[in-house]
Structure 1
Amino acid sequence: MTRPTLLAQLTTTLPALAIAATLVAITAASAAAQFPPATDDQRTAGAMVAEVRFGSEELVIPRGEMVTLMTGLYDANGNVVEGAVAIVMTSGNVSPRFASITGQRVELTGELPGEGTLSAIVMVPLDQGSVRGTAGASQLGQIPVRVLDYPAALIAIAEPSHTVYTGTSVQMAAQVMTVNGTEHSTATIAWRSSAPSVAMVSGGGILTGVSAGSATLRAQTEGGISAEYTVSVVANPVTSISMLPSSTQTRRGDVVEFDIVARDADGNVVTDIALDLAVSGLQGTGGFVYDDGTFVAEETGAYRVIASTGSASAASIVEVDERAGPVEVEFLDHGVRAEVATSDLWVFEGADGEDYAYTGTHSRGGGERMFVWHVTDPTNISLLDSVVVD
């Protein structure tokens, strides 16, 4: 048996903010705490709410800063509803301020850059609504939320991954850093060269050596932040390339590893060169070759894999056959715990040579417990024990 095998499923608990008459913020550390308690009178008042109004159609928050959102609960005639209890739920990139707020105001803080939503949920009688499997709740409003990243401060340009030889291309890499020293999440970079006849660079940073010499590359964001890098282009020394195997057969989806070696006129291996790798489909169109010299085909057929630089090149023929048909899965037995939802699964061989499985559970619905199963005989799965995980 292969061990350990892990299948991980992640759940996310959204932060929540309670609004009760004067809009009081509360924490929601777990899924069970998303909805606050409400009396029958408060739920009756909630049933009168027909609309939740926000002070804007979109909420934009700078990262690390707090904004105040105006909101209110209204009935079908446009009158303010008093005494109702509601929840403002935000996506994970926005955090509530866990404090009492007077008036119809909610204070929110931008935590992480990105886009999300802000939803208003009103507590109503138990038979008049349900949200996320919880009775007595009704969603009545939603607006988009954007958290803007910290301002960009500088561009950090990395060294090229290979020596820039004439006739070769490498991808330049750079990071836009914020005033807080983190990588900016949305800033884009445009590149240009001071001497395209020596080093040509695309807007996306693909650098190609044209002739021996030096050139200055300039990287600039849409906001005007810029940095420069001086690149030296060296005459290409490669005169021959070898590629093994020269021909091979494989199956669709299997990986073929090529040994590709570039040499100069004296037979010395040139290791710091970025070779051009390409695939030509002779009888297929689904073949791919990667920078590390591996090839894989998604379709059957014959393919020519080519490595080249300057006037030197080498090629290999790969014939790709179909894989064997799928093997039918036979159901033998299953272990059931109907009162909880399974999260992760570990299957392993124990020190006694027997096979066991651990299953985790989601916290909502009575989880927070790990179950231990005996699975040596897959036709007779049995529960051995469980442990509470906090």
Structure 2
Amino acid sequence: MVSWFVLAALSQAQPAASAQARLEVSPADPVVIAEDTLRLRARVLDASGQPVSGAQVRFIAAGGRFEGSIDPDGLVRSGSTGTMPVTVVAQIPGQPTMTRRVEVRMVPGPAASITLDGAPSRMVTGQRVVLVPTVRSAAGDTRTDRVAWSSSNPAVIGVSADGLVEARALGRATITGRADRATVTQAVQVVASRVASLALTPSAKDARTGDVIRFSVAARDAAGKPITGVAPSWSFSPGQGVIDADGAFTGYEGGTYVVTATLGTQSAQAVVRLTPRDVRRPATVIGRLPRTGFTTEEVWLHPTREIAYLGTGSGGDRMYTIDISDKSKPVVTDSIVENTRRVNDIMTSPDGTHMVFTREGASDRKNGIVIATLDDPLHPKKCADFTEGLTGGVHSTFVYRQEKYGTHIYLTNDGTGAIHIIDWNTPCQPKTAAVWKTPRPDAGRSLHDIDVQDGLAYLSYWNDGLVILDIGNGIKGGSPSNPQVVSQYKYDLNDLYRQVEASGGPGFIRGTHTAWRHKNYVFIADEVFPAAPVKGAKDAAAGRAYGRLQVVDVSDIAKPKSVAFYEPEYGGVHNVWVAGDTLYMGAYNAGFRAFDISGELRGDLRAQQREMVHVNTADLDGYVKNAAMTWGVVVRNGLAYVNDMYNGLWIVRMEPKPEPKKTAIVP
């Protein structure tokens, strides 16, 4: 996390120091294609428009540090799409410093591909369908081009400028979409028979809010013969919810809904009734360990003992060991003090004999990881450092063991954005097994977190979205020493968080921060902070986190797709933990949250009333007074161990749902 106060201080430009001189920057409205470079130039001119001798100019990035960089001489290195604010500083001997702010827009490259989501291959006469194109650059960045449509046989298939397709007569035609040099085609057959009847049957007539209800559709011609291979259009009323192109309906509010399927000139309706999901439960804080000397970072539990490990930030330089055998009175038993600035991540080996924690800001640049033995888990003892190629810092680690390959540490390299895979089969003598990174400029590459399950690594790659690697699963022949790409889910962060830029200005922080695989879903959470605080405000009023948790369907792991999402009504999303059918979350300003993820997931999970528990982890006696900044959570035996950056460790229990009160019958 980067403070918005720091970014704001860098980005605030002051007026020109002298009315007789002005600072000119060119180009005046700088634009560069993402992953390319641009040279900014600046000069100080006097009142007559002549250059001022002796003036020295330098360029300083004032935001957007994950998306690009700028050299002091004005060379912009774009690593991703976005906007990078730049402060131009001019110094003239004997005069006050002059500054000017410019905003470099980093835009997608030319259109290189167009894809169609849910485009039909068969239609019936009279049917209408809207095409939904996605235009991307060669780097996979989303563009906003207006696609030009045409039909090879307008008498059979007509298509409007807006992509509305109409089946006019039986036959075949090819629809073509063009944007710049990118094209897409879709062959469509209009079947001979008109639909004479349409029947619609729901998978359930009674369900809860958030349940996914699917419908079977039976279309027949005038002779009663089934018409196959065609898909209807869908709608519903009244109320709030979502229905997908495949007919999966999810309602957000209790009540009666009428779902309609339309095919050609025929339509059919079905009625479904939804009751409130009713999953809200009380919570009890059963234990607290306040920390006020430094910020609190990651928490981890020993796999077999009642022991927690807790990191520090803000120059804390230490990792605490905590006895949690009495949950009501956690006790610090020891600590390891290292030159780290922040202990951002902690994890033990599966057998609990060793542990690893990260260095991200060591004053001597000897970052990397620290390895300790756990012969006495209450008193870890350092046995090794590993710094090879990791001077830029390590943000996250993940320890994973495979029978075939043994135990490895998967870690992030802050300096290069690469994943380093460390052979940990001899725990106090680690060695590099492999290094892998996405193919983009260093200026825009950032790997933030790693989750490994079933031989697949799920990488939260900031500007590159979710990247899945085979590191032993076998699907692509990968291994820890030879990771192989399985798939990627990349999305438009700038568009998704445009309201954050509107409120706090360009150059804000946004990226894919963490991922967790559960069943056929990967939950990915974005870390989002505004570029500047609220003007005139301070403390908790000055700013807030934002962010969305997306539910990515990986049932077809080669084609990940987002199907649902969750955003707290205030605050952001950070680290998550899944246990059973519950997802637990550290939501920064929004405190600790837990919500129901049972069943199939579609649409807005908060609107469906899936939230179960909320605890505001603000503390008047905290490191930052009366403000929550919940980092994450680890769950074991029904207890949530919640780490708050400003307020230390919380141990929370979700209580059983209260029994409904019986209504007394008065005779």
| Contact residue 57 and residue 89 of structure 2 kept, 8 A | no
Query: 1:148 corresponds to which residue?
Result: 107
Secondary structure of the corresponding residue to residue 164 of structure 1: strand
Query: 1:87 corresponds to which residue?
Result: 60
- Counterpart amino acid of residue 328 in structure 2: T
What is the TM-score of this pair, normalised by structure 2? Answer: 0.38
CA 1:323/1:224 → structure 2, altered by over 3 Å: closer, same or farther? Answer: closer
Q: Distance in 2 between matches of 1:316 and 1:292?
A: 16
Please say if 1:69 is aligned against 2:18: no
Q: Distance in 2 between matches of 1:204 and 1:355?
A: 62
| Contact residue 171 and residue 207 of structure 1 kept, 8 A | yes
Find the partner of 2:80 among 107, 112, 133. 112
Unaligned runs of 5+ residues in structure 2 are 92-96, 336-345, 347-355, 359-367, 369-667
Find the partner of 1:193 among 151, 159, 169. 151
Please identify the structure whose Cα radius of gyration is greater.
Answer: 1
Q: CA deviation at 1:195?
A: 4.2
| Contact residue 355 and residue 375 of structure 1 kept, 8 A | yes
Once the two structures are superposed, what CA deviation does each residue of 1:235-273 show, in whole Å capped at 9, x if it has no partner? 35764434035732x44x331423414354698876632
Q: CA deviation at 1:149?
A: 3.1
Once the two structures are superposed, what CA deviation does each residue of 1:180-219 show, in whole Å capped at 9, x if it has no partner? 5755634342323354442233434343433212234232
| Contact residue 114 and residue 135 of structure 2 kept, 8 A | yes
Find the partner of 2:165 among 207, 216, 227. 207
Once the two structures are superposed, what CA deviation does each residue of 1:76-98 show, in whole Å capped at 9, x if it has no partner? xx98887898734452333335x
| Contact residue 167 and residue 236 of structure 1 kept, 8 A | no
Q: Distance in 1 between matches of 2:85 and 2:247?
A: 44
CA 1:89/1:194 → structure 2, altered by over 3 Å: closer, same or farther? Answer: same
Secondary structure of the corresponding residue to residue 333 of structure 1: strand
- Counterpart amino acid of residue 74 in structure 2: V
Q: Distance in 1 between matches of 2:312 and 2:134?
A: 39
Q: State which drifts further: 234-243 or 367-376.
A: 367-376
Find the partner of 2:218 among 229, 250, 262. 262
Secondary structure of the corresponding residue to residue 299 of structure 1: coil
Please say if 1:300 is aligned against 2:269: no
Unaligned runs of 5+ residues in structure 1 are 1-10, 15-30, 36-45, 124-137
Query: 1:366 corresponds to which residue?
Result: 315
Query: 1:96 corresponds to which residue?
Result: 70
Q: CA deviation at 1:357?
A: 6.0
CA 1:73/1:291 → structure 2, altered by over 3 Å: closer, same or farther? Answer: same
For this pair of structures, how many residues does the alignment match?
318
- Counterpart amino acid of residue 276 in structure 1: S
The 5 A counterparts of 1:1-390 are 11=1, 54-71=25-42, 87-89=60-62, 91=64, 92-97=66-71, 105-120=73-88, 140-152=99-111, 160=119, 162-170=121-129, 172=131, 174=133, 176=135, 178=137, 182=140, 185-221=143-179, 223=180, 229-235=186-192, 239-245=197-203, 247-248=205-206, 250-251=207-208, 253-264=209-220, 272-281=229-238, 285-310=239-264, 313-322=267-276, 324=278, 326-342=280-296, 351-352=303-304, 365-366=314-315, 378-382=327-331, 387-389=356-358, 390=368
| Contact residue 154 and residue 176 of structure 1 kept, 8 A | yes
Secondary structure of the corresponding residue to residue 112 of structure 1: coil
Q: Distance in 2 between matches of 1:269 and 1:376?
A: 66
| Contact residue 109 and residue 139 of structure 2 kept, 8 A | no
Secondary structure of the corresponding residue to residue 285 of structure 2: coil
Q: Distance in 2 between matches of 1:314 and 1:121?
A: 67
CA 1:146/1:336 → structure 2, altered by over 3 Å: closer, same or farther? Answer: same
Secondary structure of the corresponding residue to residue 254 of structure 1: coil
- Counterpart amino acid of residue 151 in structure 1: P
- Counterpart amino acid of residue 161 in structure 2: G
Q: State which drifts further: 368-377 or 191-200.
A: 368-377
| Contact residue 52 and residue 72 of structure 1 kept, 8 A | yes
| Contact residue 49 and residue 73 of structure 1 kept, 8 A | no
| Contact residue 119 and residue 141 of structure 1 kept, 8 A | yes
CA 1:147/1:235 → structure 2, altered by over 3 Å: closer, same or farther? Answer: same
Q: Distance in 1 between matches of 2:244 and 2:328?
A: 44
- Counterpart amino acid of residue 86 in structure 2: L
Q: Pick 1 or 2: higher relative contact order, CA cutoff 8 A, min separation 6.
A: 1
Secondary structure of the corresponding residue to residue 143 of structure 2: coil
| Contact residue 242 and residue 314 of structure 1 kept, 8 A | yes
Q: State which drifts further: 323-332 or 264-273.
A: 264-273
- Counterpart amino acid of residue 191 in structure 2: V
- Counterpart amino acid of residue 110 in structure 2: P
| Contact residue 333 and residue 379 of structure 1 kept, 8 A | yes
Q: Distance in 2 between matches of 1:373 and 1:122?
A: 52
| Contact residue 61 and residue 85 of structure 2 kept, 8 A | no
Q: CA deviation at 1:368?
A: 8.2
Q: CA deviation at 1:302?
A: 1.8
| Contact residue 169 and residue 274 of structure 1 kept, 8 A | no
Q: CA deviation at 1:59?
A: 1.8
Once the two structures are superposed, what CA deviation does each residue of 1:265-299 show, in whole Å capped at 9, x if it has no partner? 69887663222222132xxx324333343333333
What is the TM-score of this pair, normalised by structure 1? Answer: 0.60
Q: Distance in 2 between matches of 1:208 and 1:87?
A: 54
Secondary structure of the corresponding residue to residue 284 of structure 2: coil
Computed over aligned residues only, the root mean square deviation of the Cα atoms, in angstroms, reads 4.9
Q: Distance in 2 between matches of 1:371 and 1:122?
A: 47
Q: Distance in 2 between matches of 1:72 and 1:335?
A: 56
